[in-house]
């Protein structure tokens, strides 16, 4: 059984930890509001961008003017997975959910005989995936020094993806991230970037006839690379909001658990202290009666 001094030191240690987790919860709550606003503000733009591309793609169809980024190269042998996670931990199962989702996808592709390449955006996803797929990881994007995610960060990733496609390094590119729903709910999501997939929320064709200037193929050649960067930017913003929500929830649970542990340790301390006092009184009384 630990001594009174050990229990007292442990209570002090847990109280110090509780202060840290409580402070981290408050910091995450403050960052969550800004991150959630940024993620929600990016959704309409990225959805509308995809809808515009879908409508123009319908006009182009599958003719020769359609860019390769939209139609692909006609093959489905090599898949590039861009897995976006957080750079830091202490956010519950946020990173492991995305990594597990990507890992299952990799296993399915390998079982079908496909070749897989992985780009990890974020340290935590890289640490998890390299345990099993270290040989498949071709690049890692480090955003630890970035204080605030900006479009330029997503644009660099988008240009890197397009550069690999132009070199015929892959046939299909899929983006993995976590869509922010609420503080306690972040849903791992996939989005096919190349070939450009028609979004589920695309605007329905009204039957109107449009004339494009310049031609639709040239418009798509300019918009599709920009759309890839936009979709990556949205994924990064969704991840930041999800990370802060998960961290807030995890630190709240940690603070609550620390409080319960302090109560149990305090109860054990009081019981042992009372037992020690009782033992000393018994020894004093026994000594007095012996005299």
Please check the confidence at residue 213 and state whether its pLDDT lies above 90: no
Rounded to a whole number of angstroms, the distance between the first and last alpha carbons of the chain is: 33
Residue 71: pLDDT band (50, 70, 90) is confident
For 56, the 3-state DSSP assignment is helix
The architecture (CATH level 2) of 29-245 comes to 3-Layer(aba) Sandwich (3.40)
> Domain spanning 4-20+252-290 has what CATH number?
1.10.287.80
Please check the confidence at residue 219 and state whether its pLDDT lies above 80: no
What is the β-pairing status of strands 115-121 and 78-84? Answer: parallel
As a whole number of angstroms, the distance between CA 37 and CA 41 comes to 6
91 in catalytic set:
yes
Query: What is the tens place of the pLDDT at every residue in 147-173?
Result: 888 899 999 999 999 999 989 999 999
Among 84, 91, 120, 173, the active-site one is 91
Q: Please report the pLDDT score of residue 254 as a whole number.
A: 93
Task: Tell me if the bond preceding 214 is cis, omega within 30° of 0.
Answer: yes
Please check the confidence at residue 227 and state whether its pLDDT lies above 80: yes
Query: What is the tens place of the pLDDT at every residue in 251-288?
Result: 999 999 999 999 999 999 999 888 888 888 888 888 77
Residue 79: pLDDT band (50, 70, 90) is very high
More confident residue, 202 or 267: 267
Sorted by where each begins, the domain ranges of the chain are 4-20+252-290, 29-245
Q: In the predicted model, what is the mean pLDDT of the chain?
A: 86
More confident residue, 208 or 174: 174
Q: Please report the pLDDT score of residue 215 as a whole number.
A: 67
Please check the confidence at residue 198 and state whether its pLDDT lies above 70: no
Q: Please report the pLDDT score of residue 279 as a whole number.
A: 85
Contacts of 177 (CB under 8 A, 6+ apart): 84, 98, 188, 189, 191, 235, 236, 238, 239
pTM, two decimals, is 0.81
């Amino acid at each position: 059984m630990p001594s009174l001094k050990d229990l007292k030191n442990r209570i002090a240690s847990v109280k110090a930890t509780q202060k840290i987790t409580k402070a981290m919860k408050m910091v995450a709550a403050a960052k969550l509001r800004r991150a959630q606003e940024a993620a929600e503000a990016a959704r309409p733009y990225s959805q509308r961008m995809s809808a515009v591309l879908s409508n123009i793609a319908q006009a182009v169809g599958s003719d020769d003017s359609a860019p390769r980024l939209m139609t692909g190269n006609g093959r489905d042998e090599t898949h590039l997975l861009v897995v976006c996670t957080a750079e830091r931990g202490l956010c519950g199962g946020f990173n492991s959910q995305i990594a597990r989702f990507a890992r299952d996808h990799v296993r399915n592709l390998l079982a079908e005989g496909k070749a897989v390449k992985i780009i990890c955006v974020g340290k935590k996803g890289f640490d998890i995936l390299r345990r099993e797929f270290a040989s498949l990881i071709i690049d890692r994007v480090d955003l630890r020094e970035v204080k605030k995610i900006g479009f330029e960060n997503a644009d660099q990733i988008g240009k890197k993806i397009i550069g690999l496609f132009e070199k015929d390094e892959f046939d299909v590119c899929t983006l993995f991230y976590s869509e922010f729903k609420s503080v306690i709910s972040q849903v791992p999501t996939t989005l096919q970037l190349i070939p450009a997939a028609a979004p589920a929320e695309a605007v329905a064709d009204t039957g109107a006839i449009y004339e494009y200037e310049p031609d639709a193929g040239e418009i798509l050649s300019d918009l599709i690379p920009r759309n890839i960067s936009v979709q990556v930017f949205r994924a990064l913003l969704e991840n930041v909001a999800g990370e802060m929500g998960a961290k807030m929830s995890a630190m709240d649970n940690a603070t609550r658990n620390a409080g319960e542990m302090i109560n149990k340790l305090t109860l054990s301390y009081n019981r042992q202290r009372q037992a020690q006092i009782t033992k000393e009184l018994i020894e004093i009384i026994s000594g007095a009666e012996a005299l």
